[in-house]
Structure 1
Amino acid sequence: MSIDEPKNIDEALSASTEFDTVERWRRSKIDRRHSLIDDILAVVRSHGHDPGLDVIVSEMGVSKSLLRRNFVDSSDLAETALARYVSVEIEPRIRSALSSQKTDHPVIRAVTGAYVEVFTHDRPAYLFVTTHSAASGSKLIADTDYRIARLITAALGTSLGAQKMSTAGTAPIAFAILGTVRLCVHWWATQELVTADELVACVATMLEGGIRGITADEICGMTADEIC
C-alpha cells in the first residue's frame, strides 16, 4: 500500500470531504471578489473612471475593511478588476466579432471595432481598469494580451488558410494588431479627434496594408498553439 493511500473508507471519505470543503471555500472567495468588483464597476460607471475609494465604499454601502479582507492591496484589486473586465466585457465581444469573419480584412476591422465599442459604450469602466492596472505594473496585463492575441492568431490562421494563403507568422501579426489597436484606442480615449468609424477605418486600412506587404519568408512562423 502506498503511504499516501487512505487506510480505510472512513479516511478516504474524510479526505474527500476536506477537499470539497476547501474547494467550496475557494470558489466562494472567488465569487465574492467578483461580486465586489462588479459593484465597484457599477459605481465607476455612475461616478466616472476615478471616483476615489471613499465614494466607492459609500455608494456600495460597505466598509474599507471589507475590501481589505478580500483584496491584499490596491494592486490586487486592480488586477482582479482587469481580469474580470477582460473576461466579461472584452473577450466575449472579440470572440463574437471574430466568429463570423472569413478573411483577414474583416478580422482586423472586427478587433478594432470591438475595442472601440467597449470604450464608447463603457468609457468609465474601461478607463478605470486600464489606468489602475497600468499603475500597478501588473504582469496580468501581459497575460491578458496573450489571451486576446491567441484569439486573433486563431482567427487569422483560419481566414488566411481559407484563402489558400500562408499562415506562417500569424502570431506576431496578431500581437502587432492588438498592440496597435489598443494604443490607438487609448490615444483616442483622450483626444477623440476623429469619429469612432473613422478610427476603425484608419487603423484597419493601415494594418491591412501592412499584412499584404509581408511575406512568409520575412516573418516568424509561430502559430496560436505555440504561444505560451
Structure 2
Amino acid sequence: MAKNAVQDNEQVDGPVVADAKPEKSDGRKRRWREHKIARREELVDGTIAAIRARGREIGMDEIASEIGVSKTVLYRYFADKSDLTTATMMRYVETILSPRIYEAISGDLDDFELTQASITAYVETVASDPDIYLYVMANGAGANRDVVADSERMIAELLSTVLGNRLREMEMDSGGSLPWAFGIVGGIQLATHWWISNKSMSAESLIDYLTMMTWGGITGIAAVNGSPAKFKSVPHPLVKPAED
C-alpha cells in the first residue's frame, strides 16, 4: 500500500436545512469546495505513489487498493479515469517537472551551460519517474493531451523569454524567439519520449546528442544575428572538421 495511504471513511454532505440563512449555506458550500480540492490533491498524490509502486499499466481498482480507499471514493472526486489522469498530469507538471526546469534555468550559468542544464533537467526528470510519464502519455487523449500541450507551451514560452532577452542584449534580431523555442522544446520532448520508450542509449548520451543539436542551432542563429535575410544570403556548406 502507498506510504501516505488515506482512509476510506468519506462522508458526503447532509441535506441542506430549508430555513438556513443564505450566508450559512454559502459557507457550507465554500467549505465543501475547499475540502473537495484538498481531497482531490490527496488522492492524486496517492495515485502518483500507486503508479510508482505498481507501474504504468495500473488500473482504477489497483489505484484505489494501493491508496487504501474504495473505487467509489475515487469516482466521488473524479468523473472517470480520464479526469484522474488529467489531475495526475497537472500535479506532476506543477510539483515535479516545472520546478526542476525552473531551478535549472535560474542558476548563474553561461549560455551553453544554461542550454545543457535545461536539457539535463528535462531528461533526468522523465528518467527518474518513467512510469508516471508513460502512464500519462499512454492515457493522453482529449483533456489529458491538452494538459501535456499546456505544459509544453509553458516551457516553450519561458524559453522564448530567456532566448529573446539574450538576443536583444546582444543587439540581435529576436523575432524568431517563439518559433525557435517551440521547435527546441518539441524536438527535445519527442526525442525524450522515444528514448524513455526503448532506452537504446544511456541518458547521458541522449543529453549530449540533444545538447549538440540545440546548441548547434543556437550558434547558427547567433552567427547571422538572428536574421533570416542574412541566413539566406550566405552559403551553408556542411564543413568536414580538420583532422587532428
Give the TM-score, by structure 2 length.
Answer: 0.75
Q: Which amino acid aligns with 1:111?
A: S
Report if the CA contact (8 A) 1:102-1:159 is conserved. no
RMSD: 2.5
Rg larger in 1 or in 2?
2
Report if the CA contact (8 A) 1:45-1:122 is conserved. yes
Q: Which amino acid aligns with 1:218?
A: P
23-32 vs 89-98, greater mean Cα deviation = 23-32
- Counterpart for residue 193 of structure 1: 200
SS at 1:208's partner residue?
helix
CA deviation after TM superposition for structure 1 residue 77, in Å? 1.2
Mark the CA change 1:122 to 1:112 in structure 2 (over 3 Å): closer, same or farther.
same
Q: After TM superposition, list the pairs within 5 Å mapping 1:169-180 onto structure 2.
A: 169-180=176-187
Mark the CA change 1:106 to 1:21 in structure 2 (over 3 Å): closer, same or farther.
farther
Q: After TM superposition, list the pairs within 5 Å mapping 1:49-60 onto structure 2.
A: 49-60=56-67
- Counterpart for residue 218 of structure 1: 228
Q: Which amino acid aligns with 1:83?
A: M
Report if the CA contact (8 A) 1:104-1:156 is conserved. no
Report which of the two has the higher share of helix.
Answer: 1
Mark the CA change 1:59 to 1:154 in structure 2 (over 3 Å): closer, same or farther.
same
In structure 1, how many angstroms separate the alpha carbons of the residues matched to 2:93 and 2:130?
14
1:145 to 149, 152, 156: 152
1:131 counterpart = 2:138 = yes
Q: Which amino acid aligns with 1:60?
A: I
In structure 1, how many angstroms separate the alpha carbons of the residues matched to 2:26 and 2:160?
38
Identity of aligned residues (%): 36
In structure 2, how many angstroms separate the alpha carbons of the residues matched to 1:101 and 1:140?
31
Mark the CA change 1:159 to 1:19 in structure 2 (over 3 Å): closer, same or farther.
farther
Q: Deviations 1:48-98 (Å, cap 9, x if unpaired)?
A: 122222221112121111111111122211111111110001000010001
SS at 2:125's partner residue?
helix
Mark the CA change 1:15 to 1:146 in structure 2 (over 3 Å): closer, same or farther.
farther
In structure 2, how many angstroms separate the alpha carbons of the residues matched to 1:75 and 1:164?
47
Unaligned runs of 5+ in 1: 1-13, 220-228
- Counterpart for residue 10 of structure 1: none
In structure 1, how many angstroms separate the alpha carbons of the residues matched to 2:45 and 2:84?
12
In structure 2, how many angstroms separate the alpha carbons of the residues matched to 1:156 and 1:73?
40
1:32 to 27, 31, 39: 39
Q: Which amino acid aligns with 1:140?
A: V
Report if the CA contact (8 A) 2:60-2:81 is conserved. no
SS at 1:100's partner residue?
coil
- Counterpart for residue 166 of structure 2: 159
SS at 2:69's partner residue?
coil
In structure 2, how many angstroms separate the alpha carbons of the residues matched to 1:150 and 1:61?
39
Mark the CA change 1:66 to 1:105 in structure 2 (over 3 Å): closer, same or farther.
same
2:89 to 82, 89, 104: 82
In structure 2, how many angstroms separate the alpha carbons of the residues matched to 1:31 and 1:129?
22
Report if the CA contact (8 A) 2:123-2:192 is conserved. yes
Task: Tell me: higher relative CO, structure 1 or 2? Use CA pairs within 8 A at least 6 residues apart.
Answer: 1
Unaligned runs of 5+ in 2: 1-20, 230-244
89-98 vs 27-36, greater mean Cα deviation = 27-36
Report if the CA contact (8 A) 1:105-1:208 is conserved. yes
Give the TM-score, by structure 1 length.
Answer: 0.79
In structure 1, how many angstroms separate the alpha carbons of the residues matched to 2:154 and 2:89?
13
- Counterpart for residue 44 of structure 1: 51
CA deviation after TM superposition for structure 1 residue 152, in Å? 1.5
Q: Which amino acid aligns with 2:97?
A: I
